[in-house]
Amino acid sequence: MRRIRANAIAILTVAWILGTFYYLWQDNKPHSSSPSTASQPRVGGSRSHAGRLDIHRDDSHRTIPLIMTQSPWAEQQGQLIGGFDEKAYLLEKQLKAGDDPYRDHAFNLAESDRLGSERAIRDTRHYRCASVNYDANLPPTSIIITFHNEARSTLLRTIKSVLMRSPPSLIQEIILIDDFSTDPEDCQLLSQIPKVRCLRNDRREGLIRSRVRGAGAASAAILTFLDSHCEVNTDWLQPMIQRVKEDHTRVVSPIIDVISLDNFAYLAASADLRGGFDWSLHFKWEQIPIEQKMSRNDPTLPIRTPVIAGGIFVMDKSWFNHLGQYDTHMDIWGGENFELSFRVWMCGGSLEILPCSRVGHVFRKRHPYDFPEGNALTYIKNTRRAAEVWMDEFKQYYYLARPSAQGKAFGSIADRLTLRRKLSCKSFRWYMENVYPELRVPEQDAVSSVLRQGGLCLETHGSDSLGLAECRSSGAMRLQSQKWELAEPLLRQQDLCLAITAFTAGSKVKMEPCSNKEPRQKWKPKGPALQHMVSGLCLDSQPPAGPPAITQCRPQLASQVWEPQLIT
């Protein structure tokens, strides 16, 4: 009897083990996904032309859905914040009844305040991450957070999530750089929390110079940069410190999860994305190239990335200094992520995204702060500096894609050129061939035309507005905004294509990133007119309501005639 029972137990045990293996194997098989998923929101996204970082979330991401983050250090809460009076800190700045919750921070402040300073979030990593081992003696890091008028509740949650979800021995200190926020107490009061230090700029410097200041003050050998509206997830830090400890020339970042700007839900981002850009130096998330994806049989391995988004990364301090920190002549916001990324790759380092590290970030649709020199000019100045110093002959494509950058001031770059020589960095051609071969170089000999209507030509002014202007036949650069590639069904200007904004008569047209699959971008000639293929409406320069739009096709109307004229 006893033998029978023992046998039954043994059989059940074996069956259970086999079952577990089968389950794990199943779960690890590549999922069959229809090509159409590529157009769903989980994929891609980009900075809008103004440069803001858009969101890319993956609602279908396979993780263990029900397990919330639990930190072994969470119980020590009391000790974590010391004598800091959290309630008073938050209460003093809460939203007043009747105030627009989006006004000051471009996210829903009421929701953020309601959430409190700590909350459980879903562990969004692949389940296999939980069994990866890290060295027991990893070196500590200095966390550097720069902010300008951040909301108290998001800033505090960033700090507390770090203290709650990192092994205490790895956090040397948290350095806040208050970039001349209106209220100095936002920062000062937080320095009552153990390990938190506060440095205040005595004038607005922008995030680039602020980070350099923070890095200079850091006492740990490893630097960790965070935005001021993040929440770090379970075991976020160990994978990054491990990679940098093994090779100090690696610069690593986590997968950046999405914290909803409306309801502050914490959403998993896709694990199949890396950082990319187009020639106008627009950051975008893009799919990992298919060959790399196919050869990835271990979802915990790092993903090489041509560029990083910019805000959240770990870097060895001496490597940061050796490579020239940042270009401190860049102002306020933008472009520094390209400059750093090109420099790291071209001067002997590498950039990677670590899928077992996850950090949530509130992605916003507009900047909630002012730019003393204006948003567009600042972005042009910063990206122009990156292009001039690092892109060699390829910078011509930057100017082609961003003609408005021509002639704008960008200051002296002599120091940065000296730095590049001193470090014996490789060429941008090397970067293109070895790091980012997927970036298409614009075809030099594509057939281009102007689209003439009477004596005027169809012209773009930025991506949102089009109009008619005097045809300019000379000066290669001045023509860019009138130069169209007629690649049926697309009407292209570099990477942007003419698209309708809605399928109804009277809808305006605009320029947006080209996609062969996008029905709003499909056009065909109809006599002398240009017909939008799906709506059947025609491009009209003078619809009753103003700027170019689509209206009923009447090719006899002068305002619907578009004569292509080749540019030679």
CB of 361 to ligand UD2, least distance (A): 4
- Kindly report each contact of residues 390-395 with a partner whose C-beta sits within 8 Å and lies 24 or more positions away, as own/partner: 390/338, 390/339, 390/342, 390/343, 390/346, 390/420, 390/428, 391/342, 391/428, 392/427, 392/428, 392/429, 393/428, 393/429, 394/428, 394/429, 394/432, 394/441
Q: Is 410 helix (H, G, I), strand (E, B) or coil?
A: coil
Which 3 state secondary structure label does DSSP give 565?
Answer: strand
Nearer to ligand UD2 (CB atom), residue 369 or residue 562: 369
Choose the binding region for ligand UD2 from 235-243, 307-315, 451-459, 498-506 (rule: CB under 6 A): 307-315
Distance in Å, CB of 48 to ligand UD2, minimum: 10
Nearer to ligand UD2, 147 or 484 (CB): 147
- CA–CA gap between residue 359 and residue 244 (Å, rounded): 18
Stretch that binds ligand UD2, among 115-123, 309-317, 410-418, 552-560 (CB under 6 A): 309-317
Q: Choose the stretch contacting Mn ion; rule: CB under 5 A; options: 191-199, 220-228, 320-328, 482-490.
A: 220-228
CB-based burial of residue 192 (10 Å sphere; 0-12 exposed, 13-18 middle, 19+ buried)? Answer: middle
**470 beta partners:** 456
- The option from Mn ion, ligand UD2, none interacting with 352 (CB < 5 to 8 A, set by class) reads none
Nearer to Mn ion among residue 143 and residue 529 (C-beta): 143
For ligand UD2, the binding residue among 89, 107, 266, 333 (CB under 6 A) is 333
Number of residues that bind ligand UD2 (CB under 6 A): 26
DSSP for 370-398, please give it.
--TT-HHHHHHHHHHHHHHHH-GGGHHHH
Q: Which is nearer to Mn ion, 104 or 485 (CB)?
A: 104
Among 42, 49, 52, 532, binds ligand UD2 (CB under 6 A): 52
DSSP string, 103-125: TTTSS-HHHHHHH-S----B--S
Integer distance in angstroms from the first to the last C-alpha of the chain? 95
Residue in 195, 148, 354 with CA at minimum distance from that of residue 271 = 354
Q: Which residues, including other chains, have CB under 8 Å from residue 456's CB and lie 6 or more apart?
A: 468, 469, 470, 471, 541
Least Cβ distance, residue 283 to ligand UD2 (angstroms): 7
Cα–Cα dist 200/188, whole Å:
9
Between residues 227 and 327, which has the closer beta carbon with respect to Mn ion?
A: 227
Longest dimension (CA), the chain: 102
Beta bridge partners of 144: 175, 225
Stretch that binds ligand UD2, among 142-150, 267-275, 524-532, 536-544 (CB under 6 A): 142-150
Calculate the dihedral angle through the C-alpha atoms of 224, 230, 233, 238, rounding to the nearest 10 degrees: 0
Cα(459)–Cα(345) distance, integer angstroms: 37
Radius of gyration of the chain (CA): 27
Which is closer to Mn ion, CB of 147 or CB of 562? Answer: 147
Q: How far is the CB of 106 from Mn ion (least distance, A)?
A: 10
Q: Is 319 in the site for ligand UD2 (CB under 6 A)?
A: no
Provide CB contacts within 8 A for 518, sequence distance 6+.
497, 499, 512
Q: From Mn ion, ligand UD2, none, which one binds at residue 499 (CB under 5 to 8 Å depending on kind)?
A: none
Residue nearest to Mn ion (CB): 227
Query: Among 206, 276, 355, 543, which residue sits at the site for ligand UD2 (rule: CB under 6 A)?
Result: 206
Partner that binds at residue 285, options Mn ion, ligand UD2, none, CB closer than 5 to 8 Å by kind: none
Query: Cβ of residue 230: shortest distance to Mn ion, in angstroms?
Result: 8
Question: Per CB under 6 A, does 121 bind ligand UD2?
Answer: no
Instruction: Give the containing element (helix H, strand E) for 341.
Output: helix 336-346
Q: Which of 178, 227, 286, 352 binds Mn ion (CB under 5 A)?
A: 227
Of positions 164, 223, 256, 458, contacts ligand UD2 by CB under 6 A? 256
* Strand pairing category for 141-147 and 171-178: parallel
Does residue 332 touch ligand UD2 according to CB under 6 A?
yes
Among 42, 53, 163, 457, binds ligand UD2 (CB under 6 A): 53
CA separation for the pair 136, 229 (Å, rounded): 29
57 makes contact with ligand UD2 (CB under 6 A):
no
Q: Contact letters (x/-) for ligand UD2, 152-181, by CB under 6 A?
A: ---------------------------x--
The site map against Mn ion for 176-215 (x = CB under 5 A) is ----------------------------------------
DSSP 462: T
Residue 363 CB, shortest distance to Mn ion, in Å, is 7
| Nearer Cβ to ligand UD2 (217/533) | 217
> Is position 312 an interface residue for ligand UD2 (rule: CB under 6 A)?
yes
**Minimum gap (Å) between residue 315 Cβ and ligand UD2:** 13
Q: Examine residue 311 and tell whether it contacts ligand UD2 (CB under 6 A).
A: yes
If you ran DSSP here, which 8-state letter would residue 269 be given?
P
SS3 of the chain: helix, strand, coil, percent, to 5: 35, 25, 45
Q: Does residue 150 belong to the site contacting ligand UD2 (CB under 6 A)?
A: yes
Q: Give the one residue of 45, 140, 302, 310 binding ligand UD2; rule: CB under 6 A.
A: 310
For Mn ion, the binding residues (CB under 5 A) are 227
For ligand UD2, the binding residues (CB under 6 A) are 52-53, 146-148, 150, 179, 204, 206-207, 210, 227-228, 256, 309-312, 332-334, 336-337, 361, 367, 369
